[in-house]
Chain A
Amino acid sequence: MKSTENKIIHPLENAGVPEDQRHLYCDASPRPYPALNKYVERFLNWARANSLWILGYGTGCGAIELRPLLTSRFDISQYGMNPRPTPRQSSVFIIGGYLSVKTLKRVIRSYEQMQNPKFVVGLGSCTVNGGMYWDSYNTVNRLDYYLPVDVYVAGCMPRPEAIIAGFEKLKSTIMAGQAEGANEYAERFDWYKSNQKKIIKDWDMPDYNW
C-alpha cells in the first residue's frame, strides 16, 4: 500500500452525488465495533454461524448454482441458512463469480447497507484472480482489493457441494471469531475506497451509505 493511496477523507465529501442531495447521506466513515467479553462473544458467534442469512442478489453466472442450494436437492435451510431479499437483514454476501464494474457499484452499495458483522463469500475463480475474464476490459480481477472476503470457493463454476463446503468453512471461521470483515473494512476504509474509486470512473453515489 503506497502512502499516496492512503489519503484520509474525513468527513466524507460525497462528491459523487448532487449538491442538494448530499444532506440525505451520512458523511461519517464506518467505525469498527470491538468484540464483547470472550465467553459472550463465543455464544453470539455460535448463533451467528448457525443463522446465516444470504443476501439474495445474483452478481454473476455463479448465482445459478445457488438455486439448487435453496431448493429440495441441496436444501441449505437445514444448516440454518436462508435467502433474505434485503441487505439490511442479511449477514452473508455471495459474490457469484465475475464482477463487472457496473455490478461492483451495486455490490459496494449493498455491502455497505448490511449491518456489522457481515461476511463475504467469493464464488468461482473469477473472484480469486479474474478467471477466464482476467484480461477483460470490464471486470475486476481480485475481489479482495474492493471488499474484505472471508471465504473463497474456487472452481468454474463450483458445484453446490463445494459451496456447502465453503459455508462450513465460513461457519468454523465465524465460530473461531476470525470473520471480522466488517471491522476490517472500517479500519482500512480509505484503502478500500481508493481502490474502488480507481476502478469505478463514474462515481455517482455516496461515499458510504451505512
Chain B
Amino acid sequence: MYIATKAFYLFVSIIVALVWGLTVNGIVRKIVARVHGRIGPPVWQPFIDIIKSNAKRSMIAHGVMFYFGPVFRFAGGLGTYVFIPAVFGSVVFENLSFSGDLLLVMYFIFFGQLGMALGAGEGGHPASAIAVGRGLAQMTAFELPFALSIISLATQYNTLSITDIVAAQQAGVMSWTVFTNPLATFAALFALLGMNMHSPFDIVIAPQEIPLGPPTEYQGSLLGMLHTNRGIFVSAKLILFMNLYFGGALNLPILMVKTFAIYMLSVVVGVAFPRFRADQSIRFFLGVPTVLGILALLIQ
C-alpha cells in the first residue's frame, strides 16, 4: 500500500515538473522573441511540438545505441528529478530523496549527456560528433565550479542530504545560502549558465553553426522524448538550485516564482551576449567561476 501511494505521488510530482518545465520553456521562448522584436510562438508551443514529433508515422534508426541515446537522456532527466525533494515538507513532492541524494543527483546530471553522446555518435552525422566533443568538454569545465560549490555547501551544512540543506535555510531570508555563502552561490550560478545551454554557452546545440548538434539525426518519437526530457530536466535543475541556494519552497506557487526567477538569470545573460567559441567557453568556466569555488571552499 505504501509503495502504491508513493508511486502515485511520484507520478503526480513528475507530471507537475514536466508541465511546469515545458511551460517555463514556452514563456522563455516568448520573452526571447519579444527581446528580438518578434511576437514569438505561443506559450504552449513546446507541448504541440512534442505531440507533433510523436505523430510522425515513419522513423529511421541507425542501430541499437541510437535508440538508447534518448532513453538514457530521458532517464538522466527523470533520475535527476526524482531524487530531489521538490517542495520542502510536502508528502507528495518529497520524491525519493534520501540522506545522500546530493551526490546521486550530481551523477544523474552527467548521466543523460553521456548516454546522448553515445546515441548521437551512432547517428553518424559529423555535426553530432563535433557537438558531442564540445558538449563533454564544456560539461567537464562547468562541473568543476559546481562541484567545488557543492563541496563547500557540504562542509558548511555538514550533510549531503538536500532536505537537510533546505531545512537549515528555513530561519528566514538571511539564512539562505546565497547570503550565508555567496561565493559558493555565485560559482554555482555561473555553472548553471553553462548547464542551461543558453547563449553565450549554447555551443552544443549551436543553431546556424553546427546544424543542431547531437540530435541532428533524431526524428519522430525519439525527438519527442528528447523534448519531453528538456521540460523535466529544466525543472529538475532549477529546483535543485532553488533548494541548495535560495531556501527551497514550502508550496508550489513559491516554487514556481523562485525557479522562474532563477531561470531569468540565464535568459538575461542569454539575450545580452552572443555565443562563445568552444575554447572561450571552457576557459571562462576554468577562470573566475573556479576561483570563486576554490575561495568558497577555503573560507569554509
Contact = CB atoms under 8 A, between A and B. Distances in A.
- Does B associate with A? yes
A100 interface: no
B59 interface: yes
B217 A75 contact: no
Interface stretch (A7-15, A42-50, A164-172): A42-50
A71 interface: yes
B211 A47 contact: no
B40 A77 contact: yes
B58 A47 contact: no
Contacts of B40: 75, 77-78
Nearest to A40: B55
A47 B212 contact: no
Interface stretch (A84-92, A130-138, A139-147): A84-92
Contacts of A115: 56-60, 219-220
A33 B272 CA distance: 46
B37 interface: yes
B226 to A, nearest CB: 10
B149 to A, nearest CB: 35
Which secondary structure dominates chain B's binding surface? loop
Given A89-B218, A116-B56, A117-B57, A80 B211 contact: no
Interface residues of B, number: 32
Contacts of B167: none
Contacts of B217: 86, 88
A3 interface: no
Contacts of B36: 71-72
Q: For this complex, into which size category does the number of interface residues on chain A fall?
A: 20 to 34
Contacts of A71: 36, 38
A210 interface: yes
21 contacts: A33-B58, A48-B52, A51-B45, A51-B49, A71-B38, A75-B38, A75-B40, A77-B39, A77-B40, A78-B39, A80-B41, A80-B48, A85-B207, A85-B208, A88-B217, A88-B218, A89-B215, A91-B52, A115-B56, A115-B57, A116-B58
Given A50-B52, A85-B211, A117-B56, 17 more contacts: A44-B52, A51-B49, A71-B38, A72-B36, A72-B38, A77-B33, A77-B39, A78-B39, A80-B42, A80-B45, A82-B41, A85-B216, A88-B60, A88-B216, A88-B218, A91-B52, A116-B56
Interface of B: 33, 36-42, 45, 48-49, 51-53, 55-60, 125, 207-208, 211-212, 215-220, 223
